[in-house]
Amino acid sequence: MSSRTGGLEDFTNRIRSCRICVEQPIGLPLPHQPNPVLRPSSVARILIASQAPGTKVHLSGLPFTDASGDRLRSWLGVKREEFYDTDRFAIVPMGFCFPGQDAKGGDLPPRRECAPSWRSQLMALMPQVDLVLTIGLYAQAWHMGELRHASLTETVRNWREIFAATSSPVVLPLPHPSWRNTGWLKRNPWFEAELLPFLRKEIGLRIGRQAGT
């Protein structure tokens, strides 16, 4: 085991025992016991920077074990076993624990404690990552900074500009693959017609085959 791999494993274990959102919360504490869900990697070239676990992922302890995961894997053009292969993909959300739900039953935003406490150090332990897929506003804000546009639609629409302006790693913005976004996909057909073929090509280059085959 390399020192970097060992360092990443040690750091990940620290994250998995984190209780900051219960013991030192910003605002109200997490309404349930923490269960950090993440799959970092010391070798994967692709990082999926997602938002935060939902209820099903909170119970399973595995990212994207829900309908959103099925849609995301379809977007990427990969099989389930490839998606969960940490030699190919690292999956690190902005918030590691399910944040709870609002009064209408929707998921709350990622906890504000997570990214400031852990993300910079975690990214430093994964220097091999050369493609970051930013899913949703919170990941885009952290990984893109001023390249992010005022709305998610405009950010994703300008994916070519963002990809060209980033390096080590390059970044591609994506909407959340929730089935609640089906209407968004219908209103923005360029996403499936233009961005997804490019995305699958970039994925294929990094996992050693043509994605989707």
Query: What pLDDT does residue 2 have?
Result: 56
Residue 196 lies in a domain: yes
Number of domains in the chain: 1
**CA pair distance 92, 161, nearest whole angstrom:** 24
Helix axes 67-76, 196-207, angle to 10 degrees: 80
208 — pLDDT class (breaks 50, 70, 90): confident
Query: What pLDDT does residue 179 have?
Result: 87
CATH of the domain at 86: 3.40.470.10
Q: What pTM value is reported for the model? A: 0.93
DSSP structure class, residue 107: B
Residue 165 lies in a domain: yes
Q: What is the mean pLDDT of residues 101-110?
A: 86
Question: Which residue, 33, 16, 164, 48, is CA-closest to 98?
Answer: 33
Q: What is the mean pLDDT of residues 50-76?
A: 93
Residue 112 lies in a domain: yes
Query: What pLDDT does residue 58 have?
Result: 85
Q: What is the mean pLDDT of residues 53-78?
A: 93
Residue 212 lies in a domain: no
Query: What pLDDT does residue 89 have?
Result: 98
> Could you list the residue range(s) of the whole structural domain that residue 203 is in?
3-207
Estimate to the nearest angstrom the gap between the alpha carbon of 4 and the chain centroid.
Answer: 22
Q: What is the average pLDDT score of the chain?
A: 94
Residue 137 lies in a domain: yes
| Predicted confidence (pLDDT) at residue 157 exceeds the cutoff of 60 | yes
Residue pair 52/99 in contact (Cβ under 8 Å)? The answer is yes
Query: What pLDDT does residue 3 have?
Result: 56
Structure tokens at 24: 């030192």
38 — pLDDT class (breaks 50, 70, 90): very high
| Predicted confidence (pLDDT) at residue 213 exceeds the cutoff of 80 | no
Rounding to the nearest 10 degrees, give the CA dihedral for residues 181, 169, 151, 57.
40
